[in-house]
Amino acid sequence: MGMKSIHILGILLVLVSFLSVGCSETPLSPEEQLRNIISEAETYLESRDLSSAMAFVDPAYRDESGRDFRELKATLLGYFMRHKSIHIISTIDQIDLRSENEAEVVLFAGLAGSQQETDMTLSQWRGELLR
């Protein structure tokens, strides 16, 4: 698994936009909404659903290396083609709400090609780890 692919998957998980998340009697806080969105994005990544996963990325996306939305999508498609199985475990370290429509999330994620124990900590993970 290349570092570029891992970096791209990590970016996909943390560059989410605020979407309305299901209705409930008690409105969810922005932090709870972000946690739900990240969990949903992980589900799409694990199921290798390219269209649904890319819905979490701003079309104007550009990273520090100059990759744009189209290049991210192509990289993710290549990753899905090379890996028949994707399993993710993540821990949110920090959520910084910068404005009503912008947040920065520090997320530690483990990626592996085989199912691992769900109650495992990242330090026990047998796969790639990224921030």
Contacts of 76 (CB under 8 A, 6+ apart): 8, 9, 12, 50, 53, 54
Tens of pLDDT, residues 66-90: 889 999 899 889 988 988 888 777 7
Residue 87's φ and ψ, nearest 5 degrees, are -130, 135
Tens of pLDDT, residues 5-50: 445 555 555 454 433 344 456 888 889 988 999 899 989 998 999 9
Fold observed for domain 3-130: Nuclear Transport Factor 2; Chain: A, (3.10.450)
Identify the CA nearest to 130 among candidates 115, 103, 111: 111
Query: Do strands 87-99 and 102-112 pair parallel, antiparallel, or not at all (unpaired)?
Result: antiparallel
User: What band does 53 get if pLDDT is binned at 50, 70 and 90?
Assistant: very high
